[in-house]
Amino acid sequence: MTCIVLTSALSLGQLCRVSVNQSIRSTGMGLSCVKELQHRTLSCFAQNQSGVLKHTHKHTEGSTGGWSQTTLSNERRTVVGGGTRGLFGRGGGGDQPKQTLEDVARRIRERDHCRIVVMAGAGISTPSGIPDFRSPGSGLYDNLQQYDLPYAEAIFEINYFHHNPKPFFALAKELYPGNYQPNATHYFVRLLQDKGQLLRMYTQNIDGLERMAGISPSKLVEAHGTFSMATCTVCRREYPGEDLRADIMSGTVPKCSACKGIIKPNIVFFGEELPHNFLLYLTDFPLADLLLVMGTSLEVQPFAGLVGAVRGSVSRLLINRDPVGPFSGGALRHNDVAELGDVVGGVRKLTDVLGWTQEMEALMAADRKKQQSPVCHLLGHLRNGT
Ligand SMILES: [Zn+2]
């Protein structure tokens, strides 16, 4: 099984460098990639010649995805697996009983699921008010207009950063940990952690809300990096993210005290290596006994491809506004469940079915109180290394 995972992920990485069309034909990962063709291929992670996973991207017209925010609907839909054989691992058999949200909840409650892997994207951050820097009308978008970016994603391109780091630092000022509060989706994962049932959370978000919700850095893979640490772009000296806070908040580009080079928060730019702990997926996904996918368009590779890296017998629960990846078409497995609609609403429904609502409310209330205390706020930053 490990071999299958390796093959899948590596081929995905390599294919990203070639073309999305080829990745559809060769891997069948396709439905997320079809979307990429229809819209803009926001980004993909590709493996370079030396075998290092890197963050790359292409542009076409009319993007959605990535951080993009779309109108949340209150409509709720639960879709269960169609029994079609999955393309990674063993798929579902047509004769096997369909799984429901209640089935998944029961197995979580009875601790049959104790190695849960969570994959999350922008859709869990938008309910906290994280703005989309590509959405006209959002304060952040308007703020970035003054920098005359050639295109929105240039903000995450290292060459552009060297040319003009100011737009990135304007974004950093907005997203720096402390401006926004985690929501029920983050606290649900925290509950899984507290109950000893979280194997790992893989997030595409860079807002640090997972850490703020108390998810341990050892349980987190921040695939697109973090503001909790920063590195001098010249001498590679490392700095705690908190050391940059004053400069970033005052609109000053932070400079290295040793060499005066620009210090860049450890956010993964296009073409940069993924964080080393991303490689934990090699052991995490084969070990997982439940995959929970929340708030992601599954358009960024190889992150998106991980959804196919769990064993075929493992349930995959999607809580998302729309069906995405294998949940949107023929690669659905019999044990897949999709809870569609507002993401926070979906998580709250699952929490409710689990009978955890009271516990989660208490946890959120306690954390809110803690975050209002200046001393604890500081302690929280120290604990999280931010
Ligand atoms: Zn330096």
Q: Is 235 annotated as a binding residue?
A: yes
Question: What pLDDT does residue 247 have?
Answer: 97
Closest by Cα among 29, 97, 38, 100 to 64: 38
Marked catalytic residue, from 113, 186, 224, 381: 224
Output the six-digit token pair for 127.
Answer: 């309910």
For residues 287-320, one letter each, b for 16 or more C-beta atoms within 10 angstroms of the residue's C-beta and e for the rest, the string is ebbbbbbbbbbbbbbbbbbbbbbbbbebbbbbbb
Q: How many A from CA of 264 to the centre of ligand 1? A: 10
Residue 55: active-site member: no
pLDDT band at 13 (very low <50, low <70, confident <90, very high): very low
Tokens matching residue 137: 């009308």
Check residue 131 and give its pLDDT.
Answer: 79
Cα of 45 from ligand 1 centre, angstroms: 28
Q: Map tokens 């292409």 to a residue.
A: 58
| 312-357: pLDDT as tens digits | 999 999 999 999 999 987 778 889 999 999 999 999 999 999 999 9
Provide the 8-state DSSP code for 157. Answer: B
- At 373, the pLDDT band (50, 70, 90 cuts) reads low
- β-strands 116-120, 315-320 pairing: unpaired
> How many Å lie between the centroid of ligand 1 and the Cα of residue 323?
45
| % the chain with pLDDT above 90 | 55
Q: What pLDDT was estimated at residue 73?
A: 38
Contact present, 278 and 223 (Cβ < 8 Å): yes
At 142 the pLDDT is 78
- Is 376 known to sit in a ligand binding site? no
- pTM to 2 decimal places: 0.77
Distance between Cα 275 and ligand 1 center (Å): 20
114 known ligand binder:
no
Output the average pLDDT for the chain. 77
Q: Is the pLDDT of residue 76 over 60?
A: yes
Is the pLDDT at 311 greater than 60? The verdict is yes
C-alpha 248 – ligand 1 centre gap (Å): 17
For the stretch 232-288, pLDDT in tens is 999 999 999 999 999 999 999 999 999 999 999 999 998 888 999 999 999 999 999
44 is in an annotated binding site: no
Q: Token pair 């081929």 is at which residue? A: 11
What values do phi and psi take at 64, rounded to 5? -130, 180
* Residue 378 pLDDT class (50, 70, 90 cuts): low
